[in-house]
């Protein structure tokens, strides 16, 4: 049975009401949960692979989201973009921790930092531009 060091259950309140972004945001949360299971089991090799999957998905999602923020002229887009950059840096640090003779406490700390940063983005940061988005 897989253990987890943190788990995020997708909530309806996370939805922006804009399917192109909601689908990829949901995938990021699912990817984070997959990563949690691997790290909770102490499978750091798989954790490194899943960290990279998360990073690649996050980069694609953030590029799409930032393009949309430009089009809708969201006033906080530069700060939001900077937040995305920090999240990617945290994810890359976690990937490196998984590869370099991982210490479980360091990996857990890195994962929790990533989880909290993603939740901050999904729950708070993205909600700031929700009303600017076109409706599906």
Q: Which of 135, 118, 132 is nearest to 27 (CA)?
A: 118
DSSP string covering 80-92, please?
A: HHHHHHHHHHHHH
pTM, two decimals, is 0.92
CA proximity to 126, closest of 69, 53, 63? 69
| Containing structural domain, residue 31 | 17-130
Q: Tokens 């990563």 — which residue?
A: 35
Distance CA 112, CA 41 (A): 15
40 domain residue, yes or no: yes
- Tell me the per-residue pLDDT of 62-120, one tens digit each, with 9 for 90 and over: 999 999 999 999 999 999 999 999 999 999 999 999 999 779 999 999 999 999 999 99
Q: What total of structural domains would you count in the chain?
A: 1
Does residue 32 sit within a domain? yes
Which pLDDT value is given to residue 3? 62
Sequence-ordered list of residues with C-beta below 8 angstroms from that of 49, at least 6 positions apart, any chain: none
Q: Looking at residue 69, which CATH number applies to its domain? A: 1.20.120.50
The pLDDT, as a whole number, for residue 107 is 94
């Amino acid at each position: 049975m897989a253990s987890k060091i943190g788990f995020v259950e997708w909530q309806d309140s996370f939805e922006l009401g804009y399917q192109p972004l909601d689908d990829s945001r949901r995938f990021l949360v699912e990817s984070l949960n997959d990563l949690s299971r691997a790290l909770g089991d102490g499978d750091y090799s798989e954790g490194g692979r899943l960290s990279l999957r998360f990073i690649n998905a996050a980069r694609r999602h953030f590029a799409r989201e930032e393009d949309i923020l430009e089009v809708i002229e969201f006033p906080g887009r530069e700060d939001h973009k900077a937040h995305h950059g920090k999240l990617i840096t945290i994810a890359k640090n976690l990937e490196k921790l998984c590869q370099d003779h991982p210490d479980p406490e360091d990996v857990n700390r890195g994962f929790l930092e990533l989880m909290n940063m993603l939740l901050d983005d999904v729950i708070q940061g993205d909600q700031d531009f929700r009303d600017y988005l076109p409706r599906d």
